[in-house]
Amino acid sequence: MKNLDLFEQFFKESRNVVFFGGAGVSTESGIPDFRSEDGLYRQKFRFPPEYMLSHECFERNPEEFFAFYREKMLATGAKPNPAHRKLAEWEREGRLNAVVTQNIDGLHQAAGSRNVFELHGSVHRNHCVRCGKSFPLAFVAESKGAPRCACGGIVKPDVVLYGESLPEDAWRGALREISRADLLIVAGTSLAVYPASSLIECCSGRLVVVNLSPTPADDRADLVLRERVGELFSAL
């Protein structure tokens, strides 16, 4: 694999390594991303995915929102792949400070990572919009139509929808970790979703990009690897 040695050299020379990832980290676990050839945005729906996953759709058409959400966003059987597992191993060994993710699938935690900043929330956390009671993923996955709490309120996934702001604690933590990183590994993300993508501008250390298609960060990266992230990480 070309340039793998350079990646390993950067890794060995760094003291504060942070991983910043997106949907491409989970495609090898069988979860489609948004912008690849076979991604969600290339499929045909009655409304575009940006609307189906918006706060407006959740408020106005909750039944349709949940039909789309269950079919396209919930991957209940997905398992961590070698990238998730390697990152968890590095954290255990003290070689990785944090994972910052735009993913909502919880696969980093399932692999054993602990210092994870979920910029877009998680399908595993859900709460009643009326009384605040928490519900597991299974409750939302198995309900019909819009899931309802006993109090009558709708149960909303703690996932950042289009039109909503990012969770402040995840944002602050991610910013802190990225600002002091001397190596930032950006992988499996088109960097098309703002403001998450702007976080990488706060890194003054080395930047390695691992992505199948070009990203806006390629020009300023110290190394760009056009590899499948799971395959690459299993070769490290």
Residue type for 89, please? Answer: E
Q: Pattern 53-82, binding to ligand CNA, x per CB under 6 A?
A: ------------------------------
* Active site annotation includes 120: yes
Q: Does 115 sit near ligand CNA (CB under 6 A)?
A: no
Q: Which of 98, 104, 116, 186 binds ligand CNA (CB under 6 A)?
A: 104
Contact 189, 21 (CB under 8 A): yes
The 10 Å Cβ neighbour count of residue 44 is 5
Out of 55, 84, 108, 120, the active site residue is 120
Closest CB to ligand CNA among residues 98, 187: 187
Q: Which of 168, 167, 177, 182 is nearest to 199 (CA)?
A: 177
Closest CB to ligand CNA among residues 123, 149: 123
Q: Does 221 sit near ligand CNA (CB under 6 A)?
A: no
Within 19-58, the residues that bind ligand CNA by CB under 6 A are 22-24, 26-28, 31, 33-36, 39
What are residue 184's phi and psi, to 5 degrees?
Answer: -115, 120
Q: Which of 118, 88, 84, 94 is nearest to 187 (CA)?
A: 84
Q: Which residues are annotated as catalytic?
A: 120
Residues that bind ligand CNA (CB under 6 A): 22-24, 26-28, 31, 33-36, 39, 102-105, 120, 188-190, 192-193, 210-213, 228-230
